[in-house]
Amino acid sequence: MAGRVDVLLGAQWGDEGKGKVVDVIAPGYQAIARFQGGPNAGHTLIFDGIKHVLHTIPSGVFRKDVWNLVGNCVVIDPVVFLKEVKSLADAGVDVRPRLLISRRAHLILPTHRALDAASEADKGQSKIGSTLKGIGPTYMDKTGRNGLRVGDIERPDFMDRYHTLVAKHERLFGIYDHKVDWKPMEAEWLQAIAALREFTLVDSEHWMDQQLRAGKNILAEGAQGTLLDIEFGTYPFVTSSNTITAGACTGLGIAPSRIGKAIGIFKAYCTRVGSGPFPTELHDADGEHIRTAGNEFGSTTGRPRRCGWLDLPALRYAVMVNGLTELAMMKADVLSGMPTVRVCTSYRINGKETDRLPFDITTGVAPVYTDMPGWGALDPKLALPKEIEDYIRFIEEAVEVPIRLVSTGPDRTATLLREAQALVR
Ligand code: GDP
Ligand code: IMO
Ligand code: MG
């Protein structure tokens, strides 16, 4: 029987805990395939008392016998990538034998990073809050049909192509008031390109097809989250790729009929890093408490994350555009000890109540809350307290999707599967 691709992605604004869940369920798959995004992502895995943060490399890398593929819609900064490889080597993991990189993946150049910085600086107050990793300019060059791809490094005229693109960027810098000096980054980047040639580059759509024909099951790992999707996120405060289930098809070259489960990862509350609308954002002691208890500081940039209550209209929207078949609720422990936990069930907009996420949530959206009793400490070895079971049931009924996994701490072992092994096929 042919294999299938399950998709795991963020159902909020990123940083939901995707890396942790991929690591937990990876042994149930033959390969983990990242399908979009780039070093703007920071996926954290913690086990045996050690923390690892991955940016480009899929989160299956610590699991024996699991292949890891960097898919065609991922954008790669070879410098960041090599640093990741090195830090994994320092931790005793040689990624090379089981890591494959798509030739179609686009390269982030030093000039892309500089353009990102110049564009953000020029936007001033209306800046996106980009991670400044060069993501936007790289995807712009991809859709503008100027980009350089990983496969291009195998061509004899690679350097000519590189200089042509850099010359284009040099002209582009002229439109920005802010100048960024990218030249000091070039030598390290070119060295990293040379090092990238030592990795296994593949025609990943064919590799995926071969695996699926051989009956292998693959987990597609998303980056960012649904509300940062270029199409369905809170535009323009979004990233530049498709973070949704459909993105796994274009990001890996697989047909929609290959998709099995669509697993949505969400926190028991909400966070957002960077600018943009956030209806349930808290500016009070509760928000501060969640930030501290949840250690809500960016894995890639260290920026404090904005915190707020769970937003069900937004989660329902994620269920809808992704066709989520199951959910994993993360960071349930962070709300432990709060006497009351609030859930936004609908929005009031211009005096009218709606449970739909509308076109524009920038202003005038007032969340309508249901208050629920909080819960005490959570122990993954024991049954969940009644209060959190009620919270879970409330969410499941509102979004009509089962919550199969509850995470009660950052460590791999602090994970509770509801209906044993339900996430793993
Ligand atoms: P990702 O980008 O979706 O992979 O998520 P990040 O790694 O950026 O952010 C999630 C953060 O929460 C990381 O610091 C994780 O170690 C941590 N984390 C994940 N699950 C839990 C949990 O259940 N409880 C707590 N307290 N922390 C968690
Ligand atoms: P993971 O995979 C959270 C946010 C940035 C900014 C916007 C655009 O770890 O969940 P970009 O650098 O893509 O131009 O930034 O998107 N952002 C993320 N927020 N988690 C991420 O990735 C993010 N990647 C980008 O903060 O608001
Ligand atoms: Mg992250």
Q: What is the pLDDT of residues 89-122, one digit of tens each?
A: 999 999 999 999 999 999 999 999 999 999 999 9
Max CA pair span of the chain: 65
Rounded CA-CA distance 206/253 in Å is 8
Please calculate the CA angle 225-231-233 and round it to the nearest 5 degrees.
Answer: 40
Is the pLDDT at 423 greater than 80? The verdict is no
Give the residue ranges of DSSP H helices in 298-408.
312-322, 386-399
Nearest in space to 340 (alpha carbons), one of 391, 273, 413, 278: 391
pTM strictly above 0.85: yes
Instruction: Give me the chain's average pLDDT, please.
Output: 96
* Per-position DSSP letters for 170-211, written without gaps between them: HHHHTT-SS----HHHHHHHHHHHHHHTTSEEE-HHHHHHHH
* Arithmetic mean of pLDDT, 273-281: 96
222 compared with 179, residue with greater pLDDT: 222
Q: Which of 228, 240, 266, 330 to mutate to test the pocket of ligand 2 (most atoms within 8 A of CB)?
A: 228
Atom of ligand 1 nearest to the CA of 10: 3
Q: Is 43 a catalytic residue?
A: yes
Catalytic residue selected from 6, 23, 43, 55: 43
The amino acid at 164: T
pLDDT at residue 134 greater than cutoff 80: yes
User: pLDDT value at position 207?
Assistant: 98
Q: Which residues pair with 218 in a beta bridge?
A: 5, 31
Q: What is the mean pLDDT of residues 358-384?
A: 93
Encode pLDDT of 305-344 as tens digits: 999 999 999 999 999 999 999 999 999 999 999 999 999 9
Report whether 280 contacts 313 (CB < 8 A): no
Does the structure show a pLDDT above 90 at 23?
Answer: yes
Residue 302's pLDDT band (cuts 50, 70, 90): confident
Confidence of residue 424 (pLDDT cuts 50, 70, 90): low
Q: Supply the pLDDT for residue 53.
A: 96
**pLDDT value at position 300?**
78
Mean pLDDT, range 169-193, rounded to an integer = 95
Q: Could you say which ligand is closest to the alpha carbon of residue 117?
A: 2
422 pLDDT higher than 70: no
Cα(129) to centroid of ligand 2, in Å? 8
Q: Whole-angstrom Cα distance, residue 132 to residue 134? A: 5
| Res. 421: pLDDT tops 70 | no
pLDDT at 420 over 60: no
Distance CA 249, CA 319 (A): 17
Candidates 13, 22, 239, 299: which one to mutate for ligand 1, based on the most atoms within 8 Å of Cβ? Answer: 299
